[in-house]
Chains A and B, each alone.
Chain A
Amino acid sequence: MPIKRLFIANRGEIAVRIVKAAKELGITTIQAHSDADKDMLAVRMADEAVTIGPAAAKDSYLNVDRVVEAAKASGADAVHPGYGFLAENAGFAKAVTEAGMIFVGPAASTIERMGDKVAARQAAEAAGVPVVPGSKGRVETVDEAALIAGAVGYPMMIKASAGGGGRGIRIANSEDELRELAPMAQAEANAAFGDGGLYLERAIKSPRHIEVQIVGDGTRAVHFYERECSLQRRRQKVWEEAGADCLDEATRDELCRTAVALAEAVHYRGAGTLEYLYDPGTNEFYFIEMNTRIQVEHPVTEMVTGFDLVKEMIRVCGGEPLSVSQDQIKRSGHAIEVRLNAEDPFMQFLPFPGKVERLKLPEGDGIRVDHFMYEGYQIPPFYDSLIGKLIVHGRDRADAIAKMSRALNSLEIDGLKTTVPLHKALARDADVAADAFHTQWLEPWLDAGNLSSEQM
């Protein structure tokens, strides 16, 4: 292992996860922390700890110069960025490399390319990965729009070519509707942006969010199958599964095969995730973006495949070839992860950064808790509300849901409000049991009052 001293430029549960993986590889760990994070679990577990600045993330975990300087001064030969903060910041990856250290992630140029929506879409198309079908560029006239829509298929989303956000978006279900709506969208785009150019894209109603885990060594890449992450609130994943039972074998194979093709086409190094929208109605999937880092929900993939993704990413970024070939990666059973957030689900998910008074974690075969709590720990209010993740592995999906229910019932975190009641309600919901949900399902379910304190 060429990496001897690993600097961990992150906090919370992922810092704990990285410290554990690095120790198992015999690497000395150096944990970065802000003034507000002196007492965090990863600081206690790491071999060394270094202060990188005040509580505010912009002055500590997000400050490229400070982090690189601290890493260099600590004698680290590699930096692990975790997820969030600087993990997908190409400038940071470049600064780490230029300071003579290894960045545990892809090359800065890969982060840059895959972080740009248009460039990522082009790279995907070039590698044969399906993207949401639509106009190749801007559309000037209604006749041109009708021609493209006829070829691509309805329903069609009409967007302003200029600007962003939801301005001027219309959905046409037929050519008649398109001919009626396109001039309105054009007028609105003109008024808002001074540019009447339109952009057309197939509207995918009630899609599912499916993603593929890959790891590459810069030459070769392998996939570790897919995850299903459609249960989201405000675009934040709440409950994640491996695998996606809604896929048939042929679709799963094709999805994973194209993910590897794209990863190899961009000479990907490290752990990465390709995110797709899946239309269960047509059995079609479309690439939306790539995350060039380890993800929060990586444990479900580890549970069903038996591989340690964090160790593997450290090894390949240290210069070793992939330790596995595709045919050695098998999946068995079904895994589910729920995100434990310090939020009050009965009070519009208001953050609740309290002190952990008492902690009782579920134990048993196929149960894992990734977290950074201990009794007496005061959760700082300055960062993300994620305090841990409960992961279960069952024989099949129904068994995993039953195991999740039991694990949630034996989990006790006193002193905080957490999202545990939400997960308990989801674990006994009929639609969740039937795997009948999509990315637009959870918010209306909450609005309809399916989570109320009386049921608990």
Chain B
Amino acid sequence: MSQVLSPLPGTFYVKPSPEAKPYKAKGDVVAVGDVIGLVEVMKTFIEVKSEKAGTFREYVADDACPVSAGQPVASLEF
């Protein structure tokens, strides 16, 4: 198992807009560089990308909630 970490502190989002579907769902294939979520930091949206390839398991941070830098936001399995 591996975790995707937030690169910055801010507010984490699992989807690109309130109406959209989450970026990933359980069982989705994840490639290196795939966007997993967004972090809003000081009114700027930064994409959170996976540094590993694998299968998406779950989000471990809640949508639209504060996260700190280095905090796990999702988990993958291989």
Contact = CB atoms under 8 A, between A and B. Distances in A.
A381 B64 contact: no
A36 interface: yes
A445 interface: no
Given A36-B66, A350-B46, A382-B66, A56 B11 contact: yes
A384 interface: yes
B44 interface: yes
B61 interface: no
B41 A353 contact: yes
A351 B66 contact: no
Q: Is the interface of A mostly helix, strand, loop or mixed?
A: loop
B8 interface: yes
A220 to B, nearest CB: 38
A384 B41 contact: no
Given A56-B64, A351-B44, A384-B43, 19 more contacts: A36-B66, A55-B66, A56-B11, A343-B42, A350-B44, A350-B46, A351-B41, A351-B42, A353-B42, A381-B8, A381-B9, A381-B11, A381-B42, A382-B10, A382-B11, A382-B42, A383-B42, A384-B42, A385-B42
A384 B44 CA distance: 9
Interface string A375-391: 00000011111000000
Interface residues of B, number: 12
Contacts of B8: 351, 353, 381
Contacts, number: 38
Contacts of B64: 56
Interface string B1-31: 0000000111100000000000000000000
Interface of A: 36, 55-56, 342-343, 350-351, 353, 381-385
Contacts of A381: 8-11, 41-42, 66
B54 to A, nearest CB: 27
A324 B30 CA distance: 66
Contacts of B66: 36, 55, 381-382
5 contacts: A55-B11, A351-B42, A353-B41, A382-B11, A384-B43
Nearest to A35: B66
Q: Which 6 A-B pairs have the closest CB atoms?
A: A351-B42, A385-B42, A381-B10, A381-B9, A351-B41, A381-B41
A377 B42 CA distance: 16
Interface string B45-61: 01000000000000000
Contact of B43 (A36, A55, A56, A385): A385
Contacts of B40: 382
A342 B34 CA distance: 28
Contacts of B11: 55-56, 381-382
